[in-house]
Every structure is written in structure tokens, then in C-alpha cells.
Structure 1
Amino acid sequence: MFDCLDQQIFNLARQPAMDELLATTPGEKADPKLVAQYAPYANAIFLMGWATGGLFFGVIGDRYGRAKTMLWTILLYSLCTGLSAFSTTFWDFALYRFVTGLGVGGEFAVGVALVAEVMPDRARPHALGLLQALSAVGNITAAFIEMGTSRLEGAGFFTDLVIAGQQMSGWRIMFIVGTLPALLAVLIRWRLKEPEKWQASVKSGDVKRAGSYRELFGDPRWRKNALVGMLLAFAGVVGLWGIGFFSVDLMGRLFTAHFRETGLAEAAAKSEARTWVAIVSILQNVGGFLGIWAYSRYTHHVGRKKAFAISFLAAMSVTALVFANIGAERQFTIAGKTLFADVLWMIPLLGFCQLALFGGYAIYFPELFPTRLRSTGTSFCYNVGRFVAAIGPVALSSLRTDVYGHFGEIESFRYSAVTMCAVFLIGLAALPFAPETHNKPLPE
């Protein structure tokens, strides 16, 4: 939950952070073309940090314990999220995001392995589905933080606020709030114990072979599982981080233009737009929570492979539908409040279909590997896929500027996102090679 709180703070704060950090004149916004170029790079750098951390800490988790590794990773991503608030250029911001990614990626890998090992076989898919669903709760919490800071910033609350010599703004305050998960590390230090399966692995001597990529790739069974899992993760991660999470950027542009047209002053238009961007994020993650929960239910009935096939097809179709058609012009009014019709049904549907896949990853990847390689194998699937997926945001930017740039800012965004939906076909193509793990015990 808290790792996703920090990564979603980045998604929501990315646009205003780029506007400020890339500006040539203090107090003014950066050139939109420059922001469109560099924002995807910030995303890609964060994803590369996430992938690197997952690979490194996955090995550490197998060798030295799940609980200890979780403590280190939470402290790492909390600290560097806070440091992001004091960035002065794009490059130090990118450095902090990379190191934050190290912690986030590592925490996920060991957390999934830990939960998989402490739950009985029948309850394991539901517990792992709930674990992944809590990521949506973290994302929703970040959206409420964004909503609150945008309102306070619109009211001038941060105008004279200086911390450690740095003039504060809404996006900087969001990153400071992101240090709070460090408090969780204190609880982990005193209360969380290592899983019995990992302790048994240590006693049996398996820990000497634990966390070994040579062991992972030396056995044909584990090698095949790792490569198939990596392809499944690649498709979903590009779909979410290269397309889905940019829904807030697209809607931010549409909302800002709409509120300007209604006659609002520039500051008020931006404040209203940021509020609606937060609402978009909340709705997307409410849909995501329900999608992950639904996946954990129907995979129990239809099996892992069929559930993945349904989810990849749904994600591809719905993502293309939403980015091709969503707009701010269809509205209705309730109690004097204008609401955007497209947002209220398209965005939750987008979140439902895209994030359901991540419920599948949390359930499926730990089932592919034995205890001595579970953290390493899970992190390989998720994070090598994420390494390759780091090209997703850059590809979106390239399509927007080089291929569809002549269509204008909004339409180029739409065409680029729809084109990239083809990435979900990679996940479908990998499924025939994936083992079915439904109703089978964890390999030992």
C-alpha cells in the first residue's frame, strides 16, 4: 500500500514538477513541448530504478530474509521520496526518483514472497489478491493528498512557506508527505517475523543456493517460468505505466482548457483542473481495486491462464476505447455541481481492466518458483519486464511528437495511446507457454 502511495504521488506530481523544474525563468511554466519530452524520461528512470531494486533486493530477500529486506527497502523509498521535494533541476529529481524506485521494486518482491509463504494454499490467491488490491488504496490516498494540496495551493497557503531554504509548492508538499511510510519500518523492525518456510530453507542448507540467478536459469523449468513471467509482466507494465497512468496528463489538459473556456482566471482554472485530476486518479484506482478483487475471485474458478487471457483482451479493448473517446464536453449537473460524464464511467472501467492484471501477477509469480528462489524469481519476472517496459513512456512521447505530432497536442496523445495498446498482445502470445498453477501447492 505505502510503496504505491509513494509511486502514485510521483504520477500526480509529475506534471507540475516538470513545469517548475524545466522552466527557464523562475515563477513561470516550462515550454509544454519540453515537458512532453522530459516527463516520460522521468517515468522511465523511475521504472528502471524499480526494476534494478527488484532484482537486487529479490536476491537479498532470499538470502537474508523477507522481513529484514522489507525494512531496508521501506526506509530507502521513504527517504528519497522526501528528498524529491527539494529538487532544483530535472536531474537531481530524476536521481531521487531512481533511488526511490530501488526501494519500491525491492519491497514488492519480498512482500509478495512473504505473503505467499505464510498463507495456506487455499487462502493464498485471495491473500495475494488483497495485497495487490491494497496498492489501489495507496494510490487513492495519494489522490486525496493531491486534492488537498491543490486546494491549499490555490488558496495561496504555500506562498510564504519555506522549508530548508526551499520555497514550497503543492507538488513539493506531496513528496514530503510521502516520507510517512518510514514509520511503518519501525513496526516491521519489532513485530514482523521471517516466514517458517524461509527459516526451514535456512536450516536445510538451501539458503546457500538461495537468490542465485545461476540456479534460476540453470534449471530448464525455472528458466522457462522466469521468461514467460517476464513477458506477462512486460505487457501489463507497459500498458499501465506507458499508457494508463498518463490518463491524468490527458485529462489535466482537457480540464484546464475547459475551465479556461468557462471564464475562470488562470490560477482558478489550474486549481479546478488539479482537483479533477485527483478525482480521475481516485476513480481509476477504485476501479483498479475492484478489478484486482474480481481477478482473485474468477481465477479461482477458471484457472490462471484463462483469467490472464480474459484480462489482456479486456485491458487492450478498454484502454483503446477510453483514450480514443474520453472528453470533457459531456457533462451533467447535480445540486449545482458540474460533473464530467465520461470520467465517471470510463476511468473506473480503465482502472478495473488494467489493474486486474496486476492482481494476476501477485498471485501467479510466487507459484512459479521454489522457496529458495521465490523472491528472486518473482522479482525477475516483474522487474526485468519493467526494465524493458521503461521504453513505454519514451515510446509514447516519441509517437506523440514524431509520428502523430501534426494532429495537435490532444489528438496526438489519443492516437499514440491507442497505437500502444497492441502491447497487450505480447502477454496473450506468452500464455501458451505458461504453466497452469491453479489448485497446485507451491513448488519446494
Structure 2
Amino acid sequence: MNSTINPGSQGIKLRWYTGLNPKHWRVLAASWLGWVFDGYEAYALFIVMPFVLKTMLTPEMLANKAIYAGIAIGITLLGWGMGGMVGGIMADYVGRKKMMVYSVFFYALFTGFTACANDFWVFCFLRFITGFAMGSEWSTGVALLAETWPNHARPKGAGFLQSGFGFGTLIAALTWFVLSQTMPLGQDTWRLVFVVGALPAFFCLYIRRAVDESEKWVQAIRAQRWAATESVDGEQKQAKRPFTLTEIFREPESRKRTILAFMLSLTTTVGWWAISALLPEYAVQIAKAGGELTPAIWGLRAALLYTGGAVVAYLISGFLADAIGRRSFIFFTYLGSLITTVITYQLVHSIELLMVSAFINGFFTLGFAYSWMAIYPVELFTSSVRATAASFIFNAARLIAWVFPIIAGSIIKTFGSIPQAATCIGLIYLIGLVVPWFMPETRGKPLPE
């Protein structure tokens, strides 16, 4: 596939990978693998949760196992959001490479500790710490890739990076499938899933040896360029560096970009939690109504197809965003999310059609809906605050959405059924049809320095 760039006044047709060298691919590999591990950790928790609860809860607590499952998942997400915020800020102070190493090492370490937990609340504490460490990997990875890849290839690389999460969930599902065939530790076999999750600690050695620090970030710090956007480049330099989280809200243009991008991030996060959390259970309901002998397997199939659709979207997202522009891509993403959510939960009534719909819905609500966050926010802010801005946009929404797993049962009860709950919450995608048009178009433009 070709991509047009404009060095100077003369447009030149280049293949999208023209100019990429081994250094660029190493940065992508490191960032992609980090996100694979994050995807593994996130989905592994969903898969093994029933077995964790059976091992750790008393009979009285098991009577309310849905509540305890929601607490464990919600606490992990809370730690993920908080850690992402802190890690993104730290990446703008100590560097992208260092924070990536710290993030991978500590979440691998505490994942290993999780395998040894013998109490539910200790398990939750370890999941919170794991999520906290895991949260900063994404923002450091996207900032490092954005600042090292050439402009014409950057969006494609960002889309490839984002696909790591989908591959991680598939690896988690495959890991559990293999272990579940023999159950070597009986009801404690779930612990081996977290033992496998500790392996990324060795990946730190690769990061330390193969990946260089971002030169754009180093140059911005040396030149004391503290402004958050290029719109204030002419401002007099300050000897004392302002706090990066404060800086992205200080001047009007940066504040506007941050708030609008956060609104879109919240739209993605709330919509995704509503749909992905409810889809497997809805598939089981449809399978039961259709007389399937093993309805539970259809819930797993729906989840895997949903993730498979997302992986396809991740891989092509950068090409489409470059072809039609960032704002049109985001509009198309949320329009597709809205339409496919209505179709999935209101118009599909057979299990076979639901599988097809799950794939297409995952393409939009998980794939494209998260891909723009790897492509677009890094193009809105300068190198001295880029990781902070990306982490705030991505993770602040999680600090709101972490309650959704805990109140999932109440949501269904409030709306009366899964289809009604998913459809009503899915109306949040309407925000994504309006907000993009108030934001700047960055297609073809170099990163702000």
C-alpha cells in the first residue's frame, strides 16, 4: 500500500514502509510486545475468575460471586488507570525507555506474586498493584513509537502497536485452553496462568539492550520547550519546568484538545465495557433459547470473535486514518460502533448471526475505537508533555469506568435486559459523531516538537 508525503513542495509517492530501519522495528517490537502482555493480563483475569472465586471464597461469599468478581476486575482497572496516569507523567520526566522497563518488570513481578495468593483480598491487592504497574506501559510505548517513526509511517506503526492487546487476549485464551485440558493443579490450575504472565520480566533485558531513548524527547528537555502545543512555540522559555499534567490544561488550545479527546476516550471506554462485558452472557442466552446443547461455549466463541474483529481493525486502522483523515476516521469509528451495537443487540436473534455480528461489532467498538487513541493524541501535543497527555486521555476514562464491572448486574436489572442495557449505554457513541469536528486535523503533519 502506498502513502503520500510532502517533503517541501513536491509530493512524492512512497510505500508506507520506505525509510524504516531495524531501529524502528525494534521500537515497534518492544512497544507491541508490552501491549501483548497487557492484553494477556487483562483477559487472563476474566478467564480464570470463576476458578479464583471457587478457591478463595467461603460458601456464604460464593452466593454473591458476581459481586466479588466485579470487585476484583474493577480494582484491577482502577489500578490500571491510576498507574497509567502516574506512569505517563513520569515518562515525560525520566524518559520513555526507563518507564517501559519499570512498567514491564513490576507488573511481571506482581503477576507472579498473584499466583501465590491464598486470600481474596490479598488477591485483589496484588491485582491493583499489577494494574498500577501495567498501566504506564501503553502511554510510554505510543510516545516512543510516535517520536521515533517517520511521519508517513507513524499511524501504521501505531495501529500495529495497538494490535498487541488483541493478540495478548488470544494468547491468554489459548494458554487457558491448553491448561484446562489436563488441569495439572486441579482447581488451582488458574495459578499457572499468572505464572506464565510473569515471563515478561525477561523482556526487560531486551528493552534495555535493543531500544534507544527518544531523541525528540531528549532534545525538547534540553531546549526547555515546556509548552504543550505548537500554538505557543514563540512563548518565552521558562527555566523552571511546569508540572506536565498542569501544563496540558494551562493554555486554551491544549486544554481544548485534552478535554475533547478525553470525551472521545470516555465514549470508547464506557461503550466498550458495556458491550464486551455483556456480549458473552447474551450469546449464552441466545444459545439457550435456540436449544443449543452446550450454550456456555457460545459465550467464549462470541468473545473470541469479538476480539478477532478488533485485531483486524487494529492492523488496518493506520492506513484508513491516513487515507481519510483523523477526524473522518473517528466519526466513521463511532458511527460503525453505534450501528453495529443496535444490530447486535436488537436485530440479531440467532446464535449463528450473533457470531458474525460479534466480529463486526468488535471491529468497531474495540478495534477502531481504541486505535485512534494510539494514532491521534500523540499528534496533538509536544514532546515534553506527550506521554502525560496520552496517558491522561487514555487512563482518566478508566478512573470512571472501573465501577462498571462492579455494577454490571445492577445495570442489567435497571434496564430490564441485556439488549436494552447494551443499546441504551451504546447511545454514548453519539458523542463521537460530534466531537471530532471541533478538533484539529493532523493528517500529513509532523509531530509538534
Q: TM-score surpassing 0.5?
A: yes
Q: Residues 416 and 147 of structure 1: is their aligned pair in 2 closer, same or farther, counting only changes over 3 Å?
A: same
How far the C-alpha of 1:117 sits from its partner, in A, is 0.2
- From 173, 178, 185, the equivalent of 1:158 is 185
Spell out, residue by residue over 1:272-314, the C-alpha distance to the aligned partner (whole angstroms, 9 max, x if none).
946x555433322221111122322221121111111111121
User: Which structure 2 residues correspond to residues 363-442 of structure 1 after superposition, within 5 A?
Assistant: 363-404=375-416, 412-442=417-447
Partner of 2:167: 137
Q: How many Å separate the matches in 1 of 2:317 and 2:329?
A: 7
**Which of these residues, 107, 114, 120, is aligned with residue 77 of structure 1?**
107
Which residue number in structure 1 is paired with residue 248 of structure 2? Answer: 216
**Distance in 2 between the 1:151 and 1:116 partners?**
42
Q: Distance in 1 between matches of 2:377 and 2:341?
A: 24
Which residue is 1:125 aligned to? Answer: 155
Q: Pick one of 324, 344, 362 that aligns with 2:374.
A: 362
Q: Which runs of structure 2 are paired with 1:266-345 in the superposition (5 Å)?
A: 273=296, 277-324=299-346, 341-342=352-353, 344-345=355-356
RMSD: 2.6
CA pair 88-420 structure 1, distance change in 2 beyond 3 A: farther
Deviation at 1:210, TM superposition (A): 7.0
Out of 346, 350, 372, the position equivalent to 2:361 is 350
**Residue 53 to residue 250, structure 1, CA distance change in 2 (3 Å):** same
Residue 168 of structure 1: which of 188, 193, 205 is its match? 188
Give, in angstroms, the shift of residue 202 of structure 1: 3.0
Counterpart CA distance in 2 for 1:72 and 1:438 is 33
Bigger mean CA offset, 390-399 vs 48-57: 390-399
What CA deviation, in whole Å up to 9, does each residue of 1:348-381 have, x standing for no partner? 1121111211111100011111000000000010
Structure 1 segment 96-111 matched on structure 2, within 5 A: 96-111=126-141
CA contact (8 A) 1:396 1:420 kept: no
CA distance in 1, matches of 2:58, 2:422: 27
* Alpha-carbon distance in structure 2 between the residues aligned to 1:401 and 1:103: 34
Query: Is 1:230–2:262 an aligned residue pair?
Result: yes
Conservation of the 8 A alpha-carbon contact between 2:278 and 2:418: no
TM-score of the superposed pair, with normalisation by structure 2: 0.81
Matching residue of 1:43: 73
Secondary structure at the aligned position of 1:392 is classed as coil
| Contact 1:55–1:383 (8 Å) recurs in 2 | yes
After superposition, the C-alpha distances for 1:123-151 in whole angstroms (9 at most, x for unaligned) are: 11111011111221111111111222222
User: Cα 1:211–1:111, aligned 2, differ >3 Å: closer, same or farther?
Assistant: farther
Q: CA distance change for structure 1 residues 260 and 302 in 2, over 3 Å: closer, same or farther?
A: closer
Q: Is the 8 A contact 1:243 1:396 kept in 2?
A: no
Q: Taking structure 1 as reference, are residues 37 and 400 closer, same or farther at Cα in structure 2, changes over 3 Å only?
A: farther
Other-structure match for 1:201: 220
TM-score by length of 1: 0.82
AA aligned opposite 2:311 = F
Name stretches of at least 5 consecutive residues in structure 2 with no aligned partner.
Answer: 1-35, 227-239
Q: 1:431 to 1:391 in 2, by over 3 A?
A: farther
Identify the match of residue 280 of structure 2 among 224, 230, 248. Answer: 248
Shift in Å, 1:44: 2.3
Instruction: Name the CA distance, whole Å, in 2 between partners of 1:318 and 1:428.
Output: 15
**Aligned-partner residue type, residue 315 of structure 2:** W
State percent identity of aligned pairs.
Answer: 29
Alpha-carbon contact 1:210-1:373 (below 8 Å) kept: no
What amino acid maps onto 1:191 in structure 2?
Answer: A
Residues 1:92 and 2:104 are matched in the alignment: no
Runs of 5+ in structure 1 lacking a partner?
160-166, 263-268, 331-339, 405-411
Question: 1:168 and 1:14, CA in 2 relative to 1: closer, same or farther beyond 3 A?
Answer: closer
| AA in 2 matched with 1:87 | A
Tell me if structure 2 keeps the 8 A contact 1:147–1:278: no
Q: Is the 8 A contact 1:66 1:114 kept in 2?
A: yes
Q: Aligned partners of 1:291 and 1:200: how far apart in 2?
A: 34
Residue 383 and residue 288 in structure 1: after superposition, are their counterparts in 2 closer, same or farther (change >3 A)? same
Aligned residues: 400
* 1:163 corresponds to: none
Residue 55 of structure 1 corresponds to 85
Equivalent in the alignment of 1:334: none
Name the CA distance, whole Å, in 1 between partners of 2:48 and 2:59: 19
- Measured in 1, the distance between the counterparts of 2:378 and 2:68 equals 35
Tell me if structure 1 keeps the 8 A contact 2:55–2:188: no
Contact map agreement 2:56 2:118 (CA 8 A) in 1: yes
Q: State the 1:232 CA deviation.
A: 0.8
The offset of 1:436, in angstroms, is 1.6
CA contact (8 A) 2:95 2:213 kept: yes
For residues 283 and 192 of structure 1, what CA distance do their matches in structure 2 show? Answer: 34
Q: Cα–Cα, structure 1 residues 35 and 427, in superposed 2: closer, same or farther, change >3 Å? A: farther
> 2:204 matched to which residue of 1?
185
